[in-house]
Amino acid sequence: MSDPIVVGLVADRLHSLLAEQQAALVNTAFSPVVRESLDLACGVFTSTGEMVGQSTGGTPGHINAMATGMRHIVARYPASGLADGDVLITNDPWMTAGQINDITIATPVFSGGAPVAWFASCCHSPDIGGRILSAAATEVFEEGLRLPILKLRTAAGPDRTLEALIRANVRTPDETMGDIYAQVAANQVGGRGLLRMLDEFGLAGIDQVAGEIMSRSENALRAVLRGLPDGVYRAEMTSDGFGGAPIELRVAVTIDGDAIGVDYAGSSPQSRHGVNVVLNYTTAYTSFAVKAALAPDVPHNAGSFRPVTVTAPRGSVLNCVDPAPVASRHLVGHFLPSLLFQALRGAVPGGLPATSADALWMTVWRGADLGEPRPFTLTVFGAGGTGARPDADGLNTTGFPTGVRAAPTEVLETLTPLVQRRRELRPDSGGPGRHRGGLGQEVEVGRRGGHGWTVNANIDRVDHPATGALGGGAGATGELVEPGSGRALPRKRLVPLAEGERVRLRFPGGGGYGDPLTRPAESVLADVVDGYVSIPAAAERYGVEIEYVGDPDALVRPPESYRIKSVSR
Mean pLDDT on 221-231? 97
Question: Mind giving me the DSSP string for 256-275?
Answer: ETTEEEEE-TTSPBPPSSS-
Mean pLDDT on 364-378? 95
Q: Are 524 and 533 in contact (CB under 8 A)?
A: yes
How far apart are alpha carbons 356 and 32 in whole angstroms?
26
pLDDT of residue 3: 87
Strand partners, 210: none
| 55 Ramachandran zone, left/alpha/beta (phi>0; psi -120 to 50) | beta
Q: Is cis: bond before 373, omega within 30 of 0? A: no
Question: Mind giving me the DSSP string for 207-270?
Answer: HHHHHHHHHHHHHHHHHHHHTSPPEEEEEEEEEEEETTEEEEEEEEEEEETTEEEEE-TTSPBP
Whole-Å CA distances, 444 to 151, 335, 423, 471: 43, 26, 7, 33
Q: What is the mean pLDDT of the chain?
A: 96
At 289, is the secondary structure helix, strand, or coil? helix
pLDDT tens sequence across 353-369: 999 999 999 999 999 99
Backbone angles phi, psi at 339, to 5 degrees: -60, -45
DSSP category for residue 392 = B
Q: Are 344 and 233 in contact (CB under 8 A)?
A: yes
How far apart are alpha carbons 461 and 387 in whole angstroms?
13
How far apart are alpha carbons 190 and 65 in whole angstroms?
20
Whole-Å CA distances, 317 to 139, 189, 402, 444: 14, 38, 20, 32
Q: Which of 147, 64, 117 minimizes the C-alpha distance to 333?
A: 64
Whole-Å CA distances, 198 to 48, 121, 176, 444: 17, 21, 34, 52
Distant-in-sequence, close-in-space partners of 81: CB < 8 Å, separation ≥ 6: none
How far apart are alpha carbons 510 and 388 in whole angstroms?
7
Q: Are 96 and 70 in contact (CB under 8 A)?
A: no
pLDDT of residue 295: 95
Q: Are 42 and 21 in contact (CB under 8 A)?
A: yes
Mean pLDDT on 437-444? 98
Q: Which of 264, 389, 431, 244 minimizes the C-alpha distance to 335?
A: 264
How far apart are alpha carbons 58 and 468 in whole angstroms?
27
With a cut of 90, say whether residue 445 has pLDDT above it: yes
How far apart are alpha carbons 310 and 94 in whole angstroms?
16
Question: Mind giving me the DSSP string for 10-50?
Answer: HHHHHHHHHHHHHHHHHHH--SHHHHTT--EEEEEEETTS-
Q: 509-528 burial by CB neighbour count: b if 16+ within 10 A, else e? A: bbbbbbbbbebebebbbebb
pLDDT of residue 36: 96
Q: Could you tell me what percent of the chain has a pLDDT over 70?
A: 100
pLDDT tens sequence across 126-163: 999 999 999 999 999 999 999 999 999 999 999 999 99
Mean pLDDT on 325-341? 98
DSSP category for residue 385 = P
Give the lowest-confidence range in 150-154, 187-191, 297-301, 321-325. 297-301
pLDDT of residue 484: 85
Rg (CA), the chain: 24
Whole-Å CA distances, 66 to 23, 49, 74, 244, 337: 19, 10, 12, 32, 18
Q: Binning pLDDT at 50, 70 and 90, where does residue 375 land?
A: very high
Q: Which of 11, 26, 34 minimizes the C-alpha distance to 102?
A: 34
**Length of the chain, please?**
569
Long-range contacts of 406-411 (CB under 8 A, 24+ apart): 406/37, 406/380, 406/381, 406/382, 407/32, 407/36, 407/37, 407/380, 407/381, 408/36, 411/32, 411/36
With a cut of 70, say whether residue 564 has pLDDT above it: yes
**Total H helices, total E strands in the chain:** 13, 22
The verdict on pTM exceeding 0.75 is yes
pLDDT of residue 513: 98
With a cut of 80, say whether residue 2 has pLDDT above it: no
pLDDT of residue 1: 53
pLDDT tens sequence across 487-522: 999 999 999 999 999 999 999 999 999 999 999 999
DSSP category for residue 384 = -
Q: Is cis: bond before 401, omega within 30 of 0? A: yes
User: How many Cβ atoms from other residues are within 10 Å of residue 24's Cβ?
Assistant: 20
pLDDT of residue 95: 94
Say what angle helices 173-201 and 4-28 make with each other, to 10 degrees: 160
